[in-house]
Amino acid sequence: ARDWFPGPEPRRRRISGRIVDGVPAHYGAHPWLVDIRLRTDSGRTMHWCAGAVLSPNLVLSAAHCFKHSPNASELVVRIGEHRMQTRDIYEVDFDVEAFKVHQGFDADTFFNDISLLKLRPIRNHGILFNDHVMPVCLPTKEDVYAPGTSCVIAGWGKTIINVHQLQSSVLQTAAVPLYEPGQCEQPWVYGYRIKRGMFCAGHVDGGMDACHGDSGGPLVCRSITGNFAVFGIISWGEECGLPNRPGVYVKVQEYLDWIANTEVELL
């Protein structure tokens, strides 16, 4: 299974969402965040990626988490997760009934890095929402997110740059600002590697960042009209918390039609 772990990638891509220079989150502060886990040969599960609850039966995540097409039966979605090593009061594990990776996903460029997972019901129901577990809103096509807007990411993982360790035992959170249009395409940042449907967020001087770990987790922003929504999906980046090496995210607004059509297919 580790052959397709979403860590080391081509072209020095060290992907995803362990939160560097973040702070511990309060339980319930990110009620839409889920822990996507992989069943191991021993029958236990290990943290794999992250995702965001869209409805009682659907979870949004990144395509590269599933690029080698594991069977849905190998995946578990844990809702209400906060402390990795302790069972939390609202924690529930759901089997994955099916998942769909964007048909145009390119594993070399990370173009179209988006996927949807359908959960298998438990006793004929999907996720039961409460103050600690609830869905995230999708943006509308008309929502505008201004450059410099401070958005929120969260995940489990290392919290200090250049220190090798396993996942943090407690969910970490950090705020990252949206880059100016065209800034990420500059040659001293990522240049031509930024494709349509991608955007950057992070601090130009480095520091707080989403790096190697929780791919697929949501970046949640407030639009200029005040609506909170999942504006991005943690996709890729280089190294971790370095100057001019921001996190790269999937622009969810570009995929609203795909999400709607795929939801119909899965449900």
59 within 8 A of 117, measured Cβ to Cβ? yes
What end-to-end distance do the CA atoms of the chain give, in Å? 28
Q: Tell me, yes or no, if 209 is annotated catalytic.
A: no
Catalytic residue selected from 35, 82, 113, 209 = 113
Say which DSSP state 213 is in. T
Say which DSSP state 135 is in. P
Catalytic residue selected from 47, 64, 82, 212 = 64
Catalytic residue selected from 61, 115, 168, 215 = 215
Please give the order of strands across the beta sheet that includes 23-24.
23-24, 172-177, 150-155, 218-222, 228-236, 247-251, 198-201
Q: Tell me, yes or no, if 55 is annotated catalytic.
A: no
204 - beta bridge partners? none
Q: Tell me, yes or no, if 64 is annotated catalytic.
A: yes
CA distance 112 to 195: 9
Q: Which residues, 6+ apart, have CB-to-CB distance to 219 below 8 Å? A: 151, 152, 153, 176, 201, 210, 230, 231, 232, 233, 234, 247, 249
Which residues participate in catalysis according to the annotation?
64, 113, 215
